[in-house]
Structure 1
Amino acid sequence: HTDCIMVVGANPTSAHPVTGAKIKQFAMKHNNLIVIDPRKTELAKYAKYHLALRPGTNVAVLNMMMYYILEEGLQNQAFVDSRTEGFAAFAKEIRAIDLDELEAISGVNRMLVRRAAIAYATAPNAMSFHGLGVTEHSQGTFAVMQIADLALLTGNIGRKGVGVNPLRGQNNVQGAADMGVQPHQGAGYLDVNLAENIDLYQKFYGVELPKKEGLKTPHMFDAALAGKLKALWIIGEDVVQTDPNTRKIIKALEKTDLVIVQELFLTETAKYADVVLPGVSFLEKSGTFTNGERRVQRVQKVVEPIGNAKPDGQIIVDIMNKMGYAQAPYAPDTMLEEISQVVPFFAGITWQGLGKNGLQWPVTKDGQDTKILHAETFKRGKGYFEFHPFAETEELEANAKDYPFILTTNRDLEHYNCGAMTRRTHNVEINTEDVLWINPVDAASKGIKDGMMVCVESPRGKVDIKAFITEGVKLGILSTTFHFPDIMVNNLTSDVMDSEAFCPEYKVVAVRIRKARKGMMVTRD
């Protein structure tokens, strides 16, 4: 149904291979793929328009795209007038941007941006996909809003073949968010700062709730270092290997009185735990995953847990029982029954009703799901245009002079995040180590040859890593993965976060490089 696909800050052939394969097939058939990414990814090779921007400049490039759509008069004015608000003020700001400045900042030729913008705006149906290369920036939230603005501007919302599609970083991020795994929201995205929502939860659960929101992950570690956080329960996340500024994370864990880690394996984080609770894999428990198209799918146990390991839900139930809040044993059918009474868009979801292919929320009480969102209206009524100018990241403003290269991190097909699971499979025979992508000109200027060990240093620390010389990155840009704990790439990454969502800025790290003195990892306090 779609005529044009735009992929922003995502490498789906590696991180989302099923979706990536479909996008590649589309590109080969229709030759109308736009890729906005600093690296020459697999999909970039198939793109008609590859906007190889400098990491951290998504906002600059997207504003340029919207400038050209307005300049060419390609906005869907009927959609804008009937379905949106705030357009006049937004358009005034967009038309006033400095193209010379944004072209220089982003490193993308303005005529290439113009051609891509026209391709997106003139396609009968255009859709976008975005990933962590959008969100893991200091302006990540604003870039997501701009992608939505592009869809509003061109009327690419609310029908088949169009829309804004987030490629979530992990397989149940959507489901976790739906269930309120955020400090400022409860299950169903209800704001816990509003008295009526607190009252709803209190009446249903029969307990008094806190009257203020909790902390997000980076703020937890800051609180621990300040002596204000006494206990931390980490479920299924290796923060030592995957969170930014590794040495800071370790110090925070060491300063926390009680660290509980619930895990499949003895990860780098579990080594710092006071208590390790053995969880189970997806093959050993039943429940649901919700994917990026809001599809709630059954996941059914096929093997029994090993030893004392238990499903995460049962571990939480056991702790609640120990703490005096009586709970029945965990079961997916009764869990969904509870959720359906609390989360409005789960009202008609039952374990049996999910069937083989699942249902897309919102699901009405009679079991009817929703294939396409926003066909006639938005949650807030009308879509809202909000302009955000480009702002340089604090990481480069503070450190670029002494650390002139930009390192961006990513994932490979064979490994998932820290590799705690995939490194225990035969995948490790295919992909055996993290390597550093370096442009040939940069490598030559530093006397670095392919396969040579390179010392990469940031204001936080340094690591030694093998060079991979490639034209897949532009001059001044470096790229690597963080799958292997013997490298610990996140010794380099910073505390800079998205200004709104507090997502760490993994994609822009100021570093300098040289030939390594020895072939081993080096860190510093």
Structure 2
Amino acid sequence: MAGLVTVFGSGVMTNSVPETENNDVLFIIGSNTKENHPIVALRMLKAVKKGAKLIVADPRRVPLVKHAHLWLKQRHGTDVALLNSMMHVMIKEGLVNKNFIEERTEGFEKAAAAVEEYTPEVGEKITGVPKEKIIEAARIYAAGKNAAIYYTMGITQHSHGTDNVYSLANLVLMAGNLGRESVGLNPLRGQNNVQGASDMACAPNVFPGYQKVIDKEVRAKFETEWKVNLSDKIGMTAIDMMYAADAGKLKALYIMGENPVMSDADQKHTIHALKSLEFLVVQDIFMTKTAELADVVLPAACFAEKDGTFTNTDRRVQRVRKAVNPPGDARDDSWIIMELSRAMGYEMNYGSMSEVFDEVGRLWKNVAGINYRRIEERGIQWPCPTTDHPGTPYMFKGTFPIGKAKFSAIKFNPSLELPDEEYPFTLSTGRQLLQYHTGTMTRRVKAIDKAAPEAYVEINPADAGRMSIDNGAMVRVTSRRGSIMLKAKVTNVPDIGVVFIPFHYSEAAANVLTNPVYDPICKIPELKVCAVKLEKIQEDQNHAA
């Protein structure tokens, strides 16, 4: 988040979920909140019932649109142009928070110069959103006393995802919507402990607490605690590893609680990369599509079979308690890691998970005040630097840890694979309400799978009519990387020329189709935009298949 990225990373909510109910403006962009974060969406709807204005910016007619004061239906991948045009209006009409900008930020002039060319007319041409709606959105957001922004992977899963986030940071800084209750820039995390995994350094460039491995003083602190010498080299991201494996530069891979065969772009490439390894270890609770390729599978315990903590989307550290014993030979992730470490010559001597968390507190000041006793009944939100500190519902009150927050000068860059004559449709992928992520757990629940049993492709009625595709008919969807067959769902949710496929279903995996290009900074693949073509499958072809 512009200058905020250097403090806590790109995915930290500045405010808390309960504050949502007191927003007077909610700007939701790139987030199908009602299906993917339904509990948060309930709080959003409570705010709307209190009179809050809801702006939804999404290429699809997602469920929250029917509650929205304003729907900005931008073309896929044009978020920067939309946001720059809104900021252009705010600057031209004197709607920016001058006091906040002068006192708490730097670099505004460069950001303002970058958005100068993005008039509402230019914004309309690029995004397809009428200029009147761009102007109205800018005015509504700027006028809100408690205006908050919420986003998810519709913003980040692009080849320019970092630019998208920087643009949102620019917008929130121009309005001065940070450091107060019920405002902020709030990325909603997609899984239950993604925030905790990020906090604990599941990234190749940081130690726990987002402390950089290249920082000598930071490294020395961890070396003293762990009694080892630590490398100052930044490691590979997950996507870098796949390319390295494919090129024969990576010999072995240890995958824990992840199913990249289903979740990574371009499934064919992912499978080839994993098969190119000399040795693959997968640690998981079920035999996933990725685990089927492994040389060794380590059976892990699920959440109800172990002790520890989860950190939720708004930084709240909460206890997880063992309720039942794991089946068969399954073991806690922590036990497996400690045994592997011991076998490799490094003893990890922890008597309990509370000792591990106490160590984290010694090494990262933002959780130094949290311990298992304090979160026995209720979680605490970090930063919490001391044991008498109550935790921090909203961040950046009065100051930023880096001094002044930094604006960024961002220009619009289109997605890297757009529709053409051969592949005339734009494909976007994502989740639906009833299935979860790669389906590893939910597709084993009979009631859930009965309600959402099969893959589908959403097609606009105009496109379906033109191609004589009936609702429920089988179609073939093909990209430059492969093709899948699945049922058509004729609906007004996608726009004309756009199709949508949920990625939960292995028998018609959306990521057979997706483009493996990725953002050069954060290395997230462009899962939200690629070019495809549709073909109606005739009855005789269907039987043959």
Q: Which moved more, 1:198-207 or 1:37-46?
A: 198-207
Q: Decide which of 385, 394, 397 is 2:416's aligned counterpart.
A: 394
Distance 1:416 1:12 in 2: 14
Q: Counterpart in 2 of 1:201?
A: 222
For 1:133-175, what per-residue CA distance to the aligned partner results, in whole angstroms no more than 9, with x for missing partners?
A: 0000111111111112111111111111111111012111111
**TM-score using structure 2 length:** 0.93
Distance 1:93 1:221 in 2: 35
Distance 2:331 2:248 in 1: 32
Identity percentage over the alignment? Answer: 39
Q: Counterpart in 1 of 2:17?
A: none
For 1:480-501, what per-residue CA distance to the aligned partner results, in whole angstroms no more than 9, with x for missing partners?
A: 1011111111100111112310
Distance 1:521 1:228 in 2: 41
Q: Counterpart in 2 of 1:427?
A: 448
Letter in 2 for 1:241: M
Q: Counterpart in 1 of 2:231?
A: 210
Distance 1:350 1:31 in 2: 37
3-state SS of paired residue (1:395) = coil
Q: Number of paired residues?
A: 520
| 1:59 matched to 2:85 | no
Q: Decide which of 263, 278, 281 is 1:260's aligned counterpart.
A: 281
Residue 330 (structure 1) shift:
6.0
Q: Counterpart in 2 of 1:415?
A: 435
Distance 1:319 1:167 in 2: 34
Q: Counterpart in 2 of 1:305?
A: 326
Distance 1:24 1:311 in 2: 39
Letter in 1 for 2:94: G
Distance 1:400 1:176 in 2: 40
Q: Counterpart in 1 of 2:8?
A: none
**TM-score using structure 1 length:** 0.96
Distance 2:351 2:474 in 1: 50
Q: Decide which of 4, 14, 18 is 2:39's aligned counterpart.
A: 18
| 1:332 matched to 2:353 | yes
Letter in 2 for 1:448: I
Residue 71 (structure 1) shift:
1.7
Q: Decide which of 151, 161, 166 is 1:140's aligned counterpart.
A: 161
Residues 467-478 of structure 1 aligned to structure 2 (within 5 Å): 467-478=488-499
3-state SS of paired residue (1:224) = helix
| 1:376 matched to 2:398 | yes
Q: Decide which of 470, 473, 490 is 1:449's aligned counterpart.
A: 470
Question: Contact conserved, 2:107 with 2:407, CA < 8 A, in 1?
Answer: yes
Q: Which moved more, 1:316-325 or 1:326-335?
A: 326-335
Residue 73 (structure 1) shift:
0.8
Q: Counterpart in 1 of 2:24?
A: 3
Question: Contact conserved, 1:395 with 1:496, CA < 8 A, in 2?
Answer: no
3-state SS of paired residue (2:253) = strand
Question: Contact conserved, 2:111 with 2:170, CA < 8 A, in 1?
Answer: no
Residue 206 (structure 1) shift:
1.1
5+ residue gaps, structure 1: none
Question: Contact conserved, 1:52 with 1:107, CA < 8 A, in 2?
Answer: yes
Question: Contact conserved, 1:438 with 1:470, CA < 8 A, in 2?
Answer: yes
Q: Counterpart in 2 of 1:286?
A: 307
Residue 198 (structure 1) shift:
2.0
Distance 2:494 2:294 in 1: 39
Q: Counterpart in 1 of 2:15?
A: none
Distance 2:48 2:91 in 1: 26
Residue 27 (structure 1) shift:
2.3
Q: Counterpart in 2 of 1:89?
A: 110
Residue 516 (structure 1) shift:
2.2
Residues 485-504 of structure 1 aligned to structure 2 (within 5 Å): 485-504=506-525
| 1:245 matched to 2:266 | yes
Distance 2:52 2:70 in 1: 9
Q: Counterpart in 2 of 1:405?
A: 425
Question: Contact conserved, 2:89 with 2:120, CA < 8 A, in 1?
Answer: no
Q: Counterpart in 1 of 2:19?
A: none
Question: Contact conserved, 1:136 with 1:506, CA < 8 A, in 2?
Answer: yes
Letter in 2 for 1:313: S
3-state SS of paired residue (1:30) = coil
Residue 107 (structure 1) shift:
1.2
Residue 261 (structure 1) shift:
0.4
Q: Decide which of 235, 252, 255 is 2:256's aligned counterpart.
A: 235
For 1:258-299, what per-residue CA distance to the aligned partner results, in whole angstroms no more than 9, with x for missing partners?
A: 100001111111110000000111111111111121111111
3-state SS of paired residue (2:317) = strand
For 1:324-375, what per-residue CA distance to the aligned partner results, in whole angstroms no more than 9, with x for missing partners?
A: 2112256221111111111121111111111322111111222412222101
3-state SS of paired residue (2:508) = coil
For 1:8-46, what per-residue CA distance to the aligned partner results, in whole angstroms no more than 9, with x for missing partners?
A: 101121111110111123224425100011111111111
3-state SS of paired residue (2:507) = coil
**Root mean square deviation, CA, Å:** 1.5
Q: Counterpart in 1 of 2:193?
A: 172
3-state SS of paired residue (1:486) = helix
